[in-house]
Homo-oligomer: A and B are copies of this chain.
Amino acid sequence: MVKITDVARRAGVSPSTVSYALSRKRPISEETRQRVEAAVRELGYRPHAGARALGGSRSNVLALVVPLRAGIDVPVVMRFAVSVVTAARGHDHDVLLLTQEEGEEGLRRVADTALVDALILMDVQLRDPRLPLLRSLGRPSVMIGFPSEATGLTCIDLDFRAAGEACVEHLAGLGHRVVALVGSPPEVYVRGTAFAQRVVQGFTGAADRAGLASAVHPCEATPAAARRVAERLLREQPALTGVVVHNEAVLEPLVDAFARLGLRVPGDLSITAICPDALAEGLRVPVTSIALPAAEVGARAVELLMRKLAGEEVPEATLLPPRLTRRASTGPRTLA
């Protein structure tokens, strides 16, 4: 193994100079640095990760905790993971993969052994048991998703309020005047899930600003509930022509229910959703939708972590702008 002293000898300098030349933590003359870099190249020098971590108290490794739970969209998780790894490499860091299963003990372990410098958590729960731990870990962390109470921590996610707004604005732009939001199950709002409420706020606010008539309907995650909501919508808002769905589980049954009620999409009814692209694309009528920008979230999460590692202050909450993908389910209001 070639070590720093070998490089030093070859370049005719001391080991500390080599270290400084490579880390640029102290001024080194251009000429000396050139010689050092040449020696590094010629010898194929690679600093020993363990030694570096021990000496410099930085391992240059991030922990990424991925969820396993049922109901998780695996391809989305994978996209997060890949974007995190790629972004981390861009900052000269590697990524250690932890499974949710390892739980708090796993987090504590990798943090306490200084195996990692910082952590990224995915699939954060509203009342996530790991929050107090994160606060006391003594290492920077970023959560992908928003728990109900995250003071002192850092979160990043899609801006669900803007997503709600974007859906409404899209419909308004197509001429729709009466819209409805089919939302999450009632208990989600009761628990105060941040992202669900944000959607409602965005939806309602945008509808008001655009002068649309609007209504919000929470909906259980069952096909039967979807059917009931569909019927109720038509009864209570006979002039309804635009629907926003923020409830993955009922999107398909809801579309079916509308069809069974004799409504054509988008002829009679335009539908937009906030859901994974795969779901929106796979339906009989592909649905105009806003998806979670996994790649961007991952990259930004890493960036936040790097800034925290550098001692910078970062915002507690980062919200990413939604992007709406037009598909077959939305069209201009037809004046029947």
Residues of A within 8 A of B (CB): 44, 46-54, 59, 61, 64, 66, 68, 74-75, 77-78, 81-82, 85-86, 89, 94-99, 101-102, 106, 109-110, 112-115
Identify which of B46, B47, B59, B85 contacts A97 (C-beta below 8 A).
Answer: B85
Q: A48-B113, A49-B113, A115-B49 are in contact. Are A81 and B54 (CB under 8 A)?
A: no
- The chain B residue sitting closest to A138, CB to CB, is B1
- Could you say which of B44, B49, B94, B98 contacts A114, with CB atoms under 8 Å apart? B49
The answer for the CA separation of A99 and B90 in the assembled complex, in Å, is 13
Q: How far is the CA of A61 from the CA of B47 in the complex (A)?
A: 17
Nearest-CB distance from A21 to chain B (Å)?
18
A59 / chain B contacts, CB cutoff of 8 Å: 49-50
Please judge, given known A-B contacts A74-B78, A75-B74, A78-B74, whether A97 and B97 are in contact too, CB under 8 Å: yes
Question: CB distance B97 to A96 under 8 Å?
Answer: yes
What CA separation (Å) do A40 and B19 show in the bound complex? Answer: 35
Can you spell out 19 A-B residue pairs with CB atoms less than 8 angstroms apart? A44-B112, A47-B113, A48-B114, A49-B59, A49-B114, A50-B59, A61-B115, A66-B82, A68-B82, A74-B75, A74-B78, A75-B75, A78-B78, A85-B97, A94-B97, A94-B110, A94-B115, A95-B97, A96-B97
Residues of B within 8 A of A81 (CB): 97
Cα of A115 to Cα of B59 in the assembled complex, Å: 9
> Using Cβ atoms and an 8 Å threshold, which residues of chain B touch A46?
109, 112-113
CA distance A64 to B97 in the complex (A): 9
Cβ–Cβ < 8 Å partners of A68 in chain B: 82
Give bound CA distance, A51 to B99, whole Å.
25
Q: How far does the Cβ of A102 sit from chain B's closest Cβ, in whole Å?
A: 7
* Cβ contact within 8 Å between B98 and A96: no
Residue numbers in B under 8 Å from A51 (CB-CB): 50, 54
* Complex CA distance for A115 and B106, rounded to whole angstroms: 19
What's the nearest-Cβ distance from chain B to residue A159, in Å? 26
Using CB atoms, name the residue of chain B closest to A100: B82
